[in-house]
Structure 1
Amino acid sequence: MATTTSTARGDAPTKGEGPVLSFEDLHVRFSTQFGEVHAVKGITFDVHPGEVVALVGESGSGKSVTSMTALGLLPANARVSGDIRVGGTSLGGLDDRGLRRVRGRDVAMVFQEPMTALNPVLTIGLQLTEALELHGIAYGTDASARAVELLRMVGIPEPERRARQYPHELSGGQRQRVVIAMAISCEPRVIIADEPTTALDVTVQAEILDLLRSLKDTLRTGILLITHNMGVVADMADRVAVMLRGDLVETGTVEEVLVRPVHEYTRRLLGSVPHLGAREDAQVAAVDPAEGAERRAGARTGTPALDLSGLVIEYQRLGRPPFRAVDDVSLTVGESEIVGLVGESGSGKSTIGRCALGLIPAASGSVNIFGQDVGRIGRRDLKELRRRIGVVFQDPAASLNPRMPVGDCVAEPLVVHKVLRSGKDRLEKVHEMLDAVELPRSTANRYPHELSGGQRQRVSIARALILDPELLVADEPTSALDVSVQASVLALLTDLQARYGFACLFVSHDLAVVDLLAHRVVVLRGGRVVEAGLREDVLHRPQEEYTRRLLAAAPVPEPHEQRRRREARHAFLAELGEEASVLRDVRGVSGRD
């Protein structure tokens, strides 16, 4: 294991201050029906006041298990040994009542998915006052007033009104801000943030990171940041600890670990991260559209694979005017071309993809696939047209039938479209596709829950391509994957696209991934196209303010470059008169200096 001496950057911990959170020789073992699982293997590290320590590693490395020990939230089959201290208090000797006093007051948690952390049947205000009253900080009207102050502190507009609303009435970014407000409500010594920005757009992610940075600088709160996003690590961390299968394999300052990594695993992780603007140096490069068209024997007509013209999509609302999700959108995807569709949540990206698949009707405009107007053809012709289209959804666990073996899931399009009626022929085709996505043929006999997230996504790709489609619609296919798994899936997609020559509408909010794959890029905002063109023009020479805002918010996994990008982003927002005032709000509401 490579261990380096930490010298934190920025607002470093004051010399002589003791750690607010420390793990010493921590071991965690789980008793299962298959034997004992040693999940965390004797790790030791500290978090000091005003310091951000990033705990990174792939799924299953033990990151979240380590964090849960600091809150006493592991299940009953867990056996913990070693010393865990919050401030000067050892958690090992505390009973349930003692742990409840520590939670919230001394150590707080920001979970990855705010909708699972918030109670859907209680208002935001009630959930905030609950923690204040439980720890004896404020009661009644004082607690309600403090709840509103906390919402204002984390940058939520109209906090008085929002306090009366329920979680489902807020956007994803606003819900994450509420969770952060709950975490800081008792001014804890340390905040554990478990993947706090994974499901957020780049602009909302940048705002949440600005908020966390302001809070830790102003309140001197230590933060244990758990993430697999190296751009977030470069943007936030003072020190980095890298975990692999329960072991700490490398620790050091953010510059040491991200710029001069020692361990091979760390170098492999960093090598898997797509870097905005580094396509020319990447090993994975998209195939040229003309070359791909030549590979496909039957695709020589010159007709676009997908042609949307003046597309309008509306959702009907009871007693209210319809909500227009997509407004006058026109775009084309040519033969063997990858078009990246980018924008924030709610911009209409996935809605357009579903409409292109015929799953959502268009209020007006036209959807032409291979020259056929989807809105004007009959059901039989539509079914035949869908045979030429493949789809990869964002969440493979939700798109695969949990009661069907993987082989049956992959073969399902063959059954639906009555291709290869012989069971033997179908099995041979399934094995061919499993080979293509680099999965062992024995995977056909397993069920989806027995596979990892990356393996399930490969199964989804195999199913999407089994009919040799001419158009693939991929909706955020890599957003929830580890960086190394994401890199392998992207390499796989690129290789298969080069081999089979299909056109692809690639929906994503990760600009680095789009920069790596796409030939052309379409930028959406509020259901309308704000910019479109060649990938190198839109992502490297943007003309529109909104595109520049998206690009400025995208983090890169190099600390010095990311610091420059963050400063440039703040300067850009200041020019627009939108400079973040989070730090001022925090200082104004908090009683600390």
Structure 2
Amino acid sequence: MSHAAPTNDSAGGYALSFNNLQVTFETAGPDVHAVKGLSLAVKPGEVVALVGESGSGKSVTSTAAMGLLPENANVSGVAKVGNVNVVGLEAGKMRKMRATDIAMVFQEPMTALNPVLTIERQLTEALELHGIAYGKEATARAVELLTLVGIPDPAKRIKQYPHQFSGGQRQRIVIAMAISCDPKVIIADEPTTALDVTVQAEILDLLRELKDRLNTGILLITHNMGVVADMADQVAVMFQGNLVETGTVEQVMLHPQHEYTQRLLSAVPKLSPVVIDANAAHAEQTASAGRELVLEAKDLVLEYDMRGTKFRAVQGVSFDVAKGEVLGIVGESGSGKSTVAKAVIGLLPVAEGTLSVQGHNLPKLSPREARKVRKSIGVIFQDPAASLNPRFPIGECITEPMVVHKEGTKASRIQRAMELLDAVKLPRSVVNRYPHELSGGQRQRVCIARALTMNPELLIADEPTSALDVSVQAVVLEMLQDLQRDFNFACLFVSHDLAVVDMLADYVVVMQSGRAVEQGKVKTVLHAPQHDYTRRLLAAAPVPDPHEQAVRREAWRTLNATR
């Protein structure tokens, strides 16, 4: 097959190529062999998707190409950017190549951006560093880049800081930084993980357009099979450091040979196409009496104070969740879905309306009373890397809520941590390891364990599986269903993955620009949507079949064109 191992004489035609790449990490215990003899090539203007689970060696491969592996890594073999082998390349030369020859779009935009510098400073930095543009010219180029990646009102917003942008907008800024110096190859490491489907569709369109315009090779590292079907020309599947299957996107997605690839594809949550009688919606409202409400919002208004000016993030939203139920909140970045979650946790005051947890209206409570009520709320955040204290071992991360609420003894806390590690299917041995020693999927399980520490009545899950690969996501979602059955908590599930909401939630609220545009039972809303925006969201969700995805992509473009 032409794509496997590039021979040395043909390597000139590749934007990025690996030949027998081996990466081993020295650790306190036995050495970890992360990449075992990988050979792969990316041509200019081509997208090669590298898929596999957390810990399969995908990100280590890309980090090797960027020359960013830590001190304890031993690398052998060849990783060529254009014609330059970057394995063992001296630091100064490698630094010159970054951004101009090879650039990276990282998975977590908030950790890839510097929180204390304006977007302007961060975009102009690379341009000035590589001598491409200076001063006003660099700023003009930065505004142009933001326009290119679809940030509205770029001349004004360039003066803002990363936290003032939504997750999707931050990822666009990271892409703008990556393309600022016209690199020959872009490594996109889970570039759409934390994005909702319409933004994801736009970002994939953006990457595709940029790739064609700049003839850039893209190594796309992802676990989203829909994204693979949508974007990739070639697919390489990694498992435990080995490449187990490579081929064209049609071969691998439609006729997977290796059982691991088959397993990955079968784990993808799918939206079930059902059309329901529109009159069914009225019957279900009355049938749901006798529910034990845990969370209730009425005409909720939430505002951010932006240096004296009020910004309304949520306007007049009402919903409720009862014991044993899951309410999904879906919408785009900036639609206000995470803002609702923040208000429930107490990270944002309620401007108007009521927000009640177990009958207690949060805005009316004193801080001490509110704290008592919040003891019964567990939270799983979107970004596991940012929500675990890097200086705490896993055991302490999990039992932190017990310490905060002064519960239990040291021994009983450790016992609780062990039980929860069992519940989230992690080996008990991780109790003394640190967050950076775990993969993203494992970290997220730790976050779920921590959320359950206090036996919550209400679980707030803000995009809990967005950073996980499909098979891990399938396990985590199944686990959440099991845990909910065991603990019978109410769950507010904020997500942009409609297939996940379809699988997990009983009810759904679709939000757009701070308002609820459609809400009701999942069966009704996601299978027979009434609102144009819901239809657009559904059309934007990628499916793991390249042919079907091409049709859906066209439908999505048509829906967008008629807006």
| Fold shared per TM-score above 0.5 | yes
Matched, 1:565 2:560: no
How do 1:403-552 residues align onto structure 2 when only pairs under 5 Å count? 433-440=420-427, 452-465=439-452, 468-552=455-539
Instruction: Note the C-alpha offset of 1:503.
Output: 2.3
Equivalent residue in structure 2 for 1:313, among 302, 321, 327: 302
- Residue 283 of structure 1 corresponds to none
Farther off after superposition, 93-102 or 327-336: 93-102
- Residue 280 of structure 2 corresponds to none
Farther off after superposition, 150-159 or 557-566: 150-159
- Residue 354 of structure 2 corresponds to 366
CA gap 1:120/1:365 in 2 versus in 1, 3 angstroms: closer
CA contact (8 A) 1:17 1:48 kept: no
- Residue 341 of structure 2 corresponds to 353
- Residue 329 of structure 2 corresponds to 341
CA contact (8 A) 1:6 1:253 kept: no
Gaps of 5+ in 1: 8-14, 281-288, 294-299, 577-593
Instruction: Note the C-alpha offset of 1:233.
Output: 1.0
Instruction: Note the C-alpha offset of 1:91.
Output: 3.9
**Cα shift readout 1:405-455 (whole Å, capped 9, x = no counterpart):** 656665666677787x68887777666555444445566666666655444
Q: Which protein is bigger by CA-based radius of gyration?
A: 1
Provide the secondary structure at the position in 2 that maps to 1:540: coil
Amino acid of the structure 2 residue aligned with 1:564: V
- Residue 110 of structure 1 corresponds to 105
- Residue 225 of structure 2 corresponds to 230
- Residue 63 of structure 1 corresponds to 58
Instruction: Note the C-alpha offset of 1:565.
Output: 1.0
Matched, 1:241 2:236: yes
Matched, 1:325 2:320: no
CA distance in 1, matches of 2:376, 2:131: 63
CA gap 1:528/1:79 in 2 versus in 1, 3 angstroms: same
CA contact (8 A) 1:279 1:515 kept: no
Farther off after superposition, 132-141 or 245-254: 132-141
CA distance in 1, matches of 2:423, 2:229: 35
- Residue 83 of structure 1 corresponds to 78
Equivalent residue in structure 2 for 1:173, among 158, 168, 172: 168
CA gap 1:247/1:522 in 2 versus in 1, 3 angstroms: same
Matched, 1:217 2:212: yes
CA gap 1:166/1:538 in 2 versus in 1, 3 angstroms: same
**Cα shift readout 1:110-151 (whole Å, capped 9, x = no counterpart):** 233344444556655555455445555556665555444444
Instruction: Note the C-alpha offset of 1:234.
Output: 1.1
Alpha-carbon RMSD: 3.7
Matched, 1:40 2:35: yes
Farther off after superposition, 37-46 or 122-131: 122-131
CA gap 1:407/1:560 in 2 versus in 1, 3 angstroms: same
Equivalent residue in structure 2 for 1:263, among 258, 265, 275: 258
Farther off after superposition, 309-318 or 444-453: 444-453
CA distance in 1, matches of 2:164, 2:379: 30
CA gap 1:279/1:31 in 2 versus in 1, 3 angstroms: farther
CA distance in 2, matches of 1:162, 1:418: 44
Amino acid of the structure 1 residue aligned with 2:485: A
Instruction: Note the C-alpha offset of 1:387.
Output: 5.2
CA distance in 1, matches of 2:99, 2:391: 41
Question: With structure 1 as the length reference, what TM-score do the two structures score?
Answer: 0.80
CA distance in 2, matches of 1:491, 1:341: 19
Farther off after superposition, 337-346 or 391-400: 391-400
CA distance in 2, matches of 1:431, 1:224: 39
CA contact (8 A) 1:5 1:252 kept: no
Matched, 1:556 2:543: yes
CA gap 1:73/1:430 in 2 versus in 1, 3 angstroms: closer
| Number of matched pairs | 547
CA gap 1:217/1:466 in 2 versus in 1, 3 angstroms: closer
Gaps of 5+ in 2: 5-9, 276-283
Equivalent residue in structure 2 for 1:51, among 33, 46, 68: 46
Question: With structure 2 as the length reference, what TM-score do the two structures score?
Answer: 0.84
CA gap 1:438/1:49 in 2 versus in 1, 3 angstroms: closer
- Residue 580 of structure 1 corresponds to none
Instruction: Note the C-alpha offset of 1:481.
Output: 2.1
CA gap 1:445/1:528 in 2 versus in 1, 3 angstroms: same
**Cα shift readout 1:374-406 (whole Å, capped 9, x = no counterpart):** 444567765664455443333455555667665
CA contact (8 A) 1:235 1:559 kept: yes
CA distance in 2, matches of 1:111, 1:91: 19
**Cα shift readout 1:528-578 (whole Å, capped 9, x = no counterpart):** 2111011022112111122222222221222111111111000111111xx
Provide the secondary structure at the position in 2 that maps to 1:64: helix
Provide the secondary structure at the position in 1 that maps to 2:66: coil
**Cα shift readout 1:97-120 (whole Å, capped 9, x = no counterpart):** 543443333333223334444455
CA distance in 2, matches of 1:98, 1:441: 44
